[in-house]
Structure 1
Amino acid sequence: MSAPAVPSMDDCIRDCTDCHTICLETVAYCLGKGGAHAEAGHIRLMLDCVDICRASADFMIRGSRFHHLTCGACAEICAACADDCDRMSDDPMMRRCADMCRRCAESCRAMSRMTA
């Protein structure tokens, strides 16, 4: 049995960029839907995810020696966002967001162990 493949930096940048986009789309969706979807804490966490994904991608794109730090924070925030979106997993849009956040968290967790 072989070890799981470590994502490349390009893969991680793509995951961060995709997560940024999907979370931002989902924020707009949640605000339009209202109710539990639009709770302040949920929206705040999703916006945290949007911002850290963009920052992590930017750090990697420019070759920052500190990318492992932003990726570590990104992994934690994305995992928390996925868990929060899972509370509404009967909604396909929320399931899509949770799945993307989970994929980004895994990718960033692996990248956080690498230094430039």
Structure 2
Amino acid sequence: MTHHTAAHRPQAMNDCIDNCTQCHAICLETINYCLGQGGQHAAPEHIGLLATCADICATSADAMLRGAAVHTITCGACAEICRQCADACDRMNDDSEMKRCADACRRCAESCAAMASQ
């Protein structure tokens, strides 16, 4: 059994792990922001999507860090959920916090889609 460390993983995978980890953190921060804003920002559906996005990002990063072959499946799911989350954030008021989250989700979706197709 091979033990993968950052030095032995493909660079694209390391970048994807970083994007997932960053997106996870930003989605959690955005939940706090949205709850503070109230109104449509705090709608249960929106908060639920942000939370699910954070969860799948963490799960995908963990799968890649473990070297689990199923990372292609988690990354595929992550890419789709990140895309939906980015779209939802774009539909909110055009403020910098929501844009920051949408950008992080899109970045993560792109790298996860690439990982899923390998």
1:59 aligns with 2:63: yes
Indicate conservation of the 8 Å contact 1:74/1:108, yes or no: yes
Counterpart-to-counterpart distance in 1, 2:95 and 2:52:
21
Aligned to 1:100: 104
1:88 aligns with 2:92: yes
1:45 aligns with 2:22: no
**1:23 pairs with one of 4, 20, 27:** 27
Unaligned runs of 5+ in 1: 1-6
Question: Hey, which bits of structure 1, 4+ residues long, moved more than 2 A?
Answer: none
Cα distance per residue 1:25-74 (max 9 Å; x no partner):
00011011100100010000000100000000000000001000000000
- How many residue pairs match? The answer is 109
Aligned to 1:14: 18
Counterpart-to-counterpart distance in 2, 1:103 and 1:95:
12
Counterpart-to-counterpart distance in 2, 1:32 and 1:101:
21
Indicate conservation of the 8 Å contact 1:89/1:95, yes or no: no
Aligned to 2:4: none
Unaligned runs of 5+ in 2: 1-10
1:73 aligns with 2:77: yes
Identical amino acids, percent of aligned pairs: 63
Cα-Cα RMSD:
1.3
2:39 partner letter: G
Counterpart-to-counterpart distance in 1, 2:68 and 2:15:
16
Counterpart-to-counterpart distance in 2, 1:20 and 1:89:
21
